[in-house]
Chains A and B, each alone.
Chain A
């Protein structure tokens, strides 16, 4: 941002800007040069910001009516659904908003994996993103506990119990987390406090995430550096604003469908039964967005190693920029990586599926194979592939005439042959 010279036109503007350069910042944000070949997979950053704000705003209203007490939480949620004006709408937006948030974040992460957005010089953006993702999982998990239904209670019991796998101090840690000898009122009140806190931590990290993005600028589908500003870029406003807006509206249609016509389809029926420490549900399953990691956890027979595997599955992403040895960013120019990428996508989907099934028989076997492959992808395939793979030559710029400015190789070749 230091390279940005900007002087407000009005005298008052200059006076203010000399003291706090907010107008310079606003000007930077509108003029921010963005590669003009970004496709719709790049619109999910904006969509995620929308999701975060939606969760915070609806969450604030819910917190005004919710009572964080083991004896009253369930009832207060029903009070919100029945007596609070449009309480049902706010709660359903918040509950489905969590699912939408994760849907968007998974697309955002897998976009990054496909186009190599995590590679130099964008490692810090990526790592901040992974921290945000971790915090999102923590916030979502604690949020799911608050209605104090059966899945809330037993989910909390299962997940907090994971900490008991820590050698020597495990049991003590779990007692400390619970604030007692089982999941109970102290657990609920602290989860509520943390659930309220985490979104604001995420908000702060999002600012850093965007700041770190604005230093090198966006990656793009071709994955080569763009000179900015140049013919390769367009100013953020109005070009990207309108495009992000369009994509956001499409996303909101899907969102609205869930909120208005299938508000409970992504939840579990058992969570409409008030928590009962004496009755264990037949199957304890987390929300869909945590299922792949739940599958990894259960695929390891040893409790401690299972927890280690689950945590590694997430943390391995943080060191991804150094595991991937290829200098080429975009999978468009990496024919082999492209295939392994889609295998990984399928692998994660399979993990998600078996995570929802009972951990026995064939399901368990599939979970184990898929877990092994997940780690194989990051620890073996990616490092080796970067050294061995024969990549397709990169274009010189994203507007290079021969390529017709298209990131799509097939389309580019078609245009190429036409020129010949």
Chain B
């Protein structure tokens, strides 16, 4: 049993140290309590819905989210808009479809099965409209940045006056948390820039938190299912391990040896 413990602690040590090595090189990000962290972490539904509002009214002007469909908005574990609401959201967008029988492309209102409509035709068009910088697609943005949600949350609130002596080119802004501190995106949020439909006060901090939560869901739509299944799986494995341990002791008791 001593050996098992030793072995187990080696593996745990490995896991912990690998986590540390990866998170060691980060700047101190702003912290907030995310409801989706931890063993039972779940999304805050209201925050997701507000986050969608921030995304669609602010971010979506430049940032695409090409791997999401409107149907996702009503799916379990997400913002969980009602199907009717999601349909209304989809219908508020114009989607290019076709070609029709005459070989023409045509516009129609969006359906649940449509992917999120993109703000630009292609990457080049996006770059041209944004001073040469491509606003990255937001579908998996949280997973594509070291620091994840904390980084995005901090970045949105990290706009400051550039320190003395730092010369910024036209269209470049100073951000405390950006790699190299220079960012082409101007501060996207300001107090009261949108009016939340649920009456929550739209402070920069609140909007940052909501939209980051929404982005986390966009990148990991099955996070809740994963946490729920994970807990069941691990409890099941632990019970089975204990049972197998006692069976093993029983079987090995016939032999003069240690297990």
Contact = CB atoms under 8 A, between A and B. Distances in A.
Interface string B222-242: 100111011101100110110
Contact of A256 (B234, B244, B257): B234
A66 interface: no
B67 A103 contact: no
B255 A239 contact: yes
B61 interface: no
B119 interface: no
Given A41-B7, A103-B11, A246 B18 contact: no
Q: Which interface class (under 10, 10 to 19, 20 to 34, 35 or more) fits B?
A: 35 or more
B144 A272 contact: yes
Contacts of A36: 255, 257
Q: Report, nearest first, the 4 A-B pairs whose CB atoms are least far apart.
A: A260-B230, A272-B144, A249-B241, A272-B143
B107 interface: no
A397 interface: no
B139 A89 contact: no
B4 A269 contact: no
A252 B237 contact: yes
A126 B7 CA distance: 23
Given A89-B229, A239-B251, A261-B230, A254 B15 contact: yes
Contacts of A273: 136, 144
A262 B39 CA distance: 11
A174 interface: no
A256 B8 contact: no
Size category of the binding interface on chain A: 35 or more
Contact of B258 (A41, A103, A234, A406): A406
A22 to B, nearest CB: 26
Contacts of A288: 18
20 contacts: A36-B255, A37-B258, A78-B139, A78-B140, A82-B68, A82-B221, A82-B222, A89-B229, A238-B251, A243-B259, A245-B244, A246-B244, A254-B11, A256-B230, A256-B234, A260-B230, A261-B227, A262-B19, A353-B21, A405-B258
Contact of A265 (B14, B19, B248, B252): B19
A269 B11 contact: no
B256 interface: yes
Contacts of B219: 272
A115 to B, nearest CB: 13
Contacts of B234: 253, 256-257, 260
Nearest to B234: A256
Contact of B145 (A243, A262, A263, A269): A269
Given A249-B237, A253-B238, A265-B18, A239 B7 contact: no
Contacts of A123: none
Given A242-B251, A249-B240, A288-B18, A37 B140 contact: no
